[in-house]
Amino acid sequence: MALTQKCIDLCGVKIYCEYSFVENRPPLLLIHGVAATLYTFNSLIPLLNEHFSIIAIDLPGFGRSEKPSSFIFSFQNYAKIVAACIDYFKLDHVNIVGHSMGGQIALYTTKMIPEKINKLVLISSSGYLKRANKAIIFCTFLPFFGYYVKHQVHKQEVKDVLKNVFYDHSLITENHVREFGRPLEEKGFYTSLLRLLRYREGDLSSEDLKTIDKPTLLLWGREDRVVSFRIGERLADDLPNAKLITYEKAGHLLTEERSQEVYQAILDFI
């Protein structure tokens, strides 16, 4: 079944989402990471769509969602967007799949509305990052700092950036280069990135994580150069009901590099 494409209003922000609901199929909400879009799950969605009701969103500031200057780009507010999405679709016992920063947003959401969440799947999830230091936050208010951020992002070609998230570079296609490069050309992208840098809280502490008792599956590439699998091991220790699976010769973008294995792991878990 093809997914429906729609923009919906959540917390006063127009959010692009793709979804498909089938009766008696458990809901699965997909959250991408920083500077990405729901295309992160491009290879997974057709597989998961056979067994789950799917909701995938572009977070505010990214992809086809609105990039409002009034939105405070914090994990707390991203979690409110996810919670509002769950309410919009009248869902209960939702399973959340979060990749990279999306994993941290999934944890914030679970802390916010534990009664609505069933299980978590955190793929190469952000963990234990502190808030940006005061000097960096100050710089985000400088008039031309946005041009500096854009310059830094464009120092590397998109294909070279993808080589950092894929272990097996032979798997990188022209479609990957085009789709992962698309956000970099969108109006408002760099302002959103700047405001995320300014307002992003630190990741949840060990103490906070110990209060999240939802069944959690952690999936990691052993050669992840963005978020080390050691972070996965720490999360597995701190989350009371977590299981860690690691994949040899795999990098940060497991959703593309090991989509079949990730799909099977999610299916077995949920």
Annotated catalytic residues are 100, 252
Check residue 133 and report its DSSP letter.
P
CA angle at residue 159 from 182 to 253, to 5 degrees?
A: 80
* Measured distance CA(200)–CA(54) in Å, rounded: 27
Q: Residue 231: name the closest of 168, 242, 86, 73 by CA.
A: 242
Q: Which residues contact 152 (CB under 8 A, 6 or more apart)?
A: none
Check residue 217 and report its DSSP letter.
E
CA angle at residue 48 from 45 to 51, to 5 degrees?
A: 145
The DSSP H or E segment spanning 86 is helix 75-88
SS3 57: strand
What distance separates the 2 farthest-apart alpha carbons in the chain?
A: 52
User: Residue with structure tokens 């309410």?
Assistant: 87
* Measured distance CA(247)–CA(219) in Å, rounded: 8
Angle between helices 101-112 and 75-88 (to 10 degrees): 70
**Residue type for 194, please?**
L
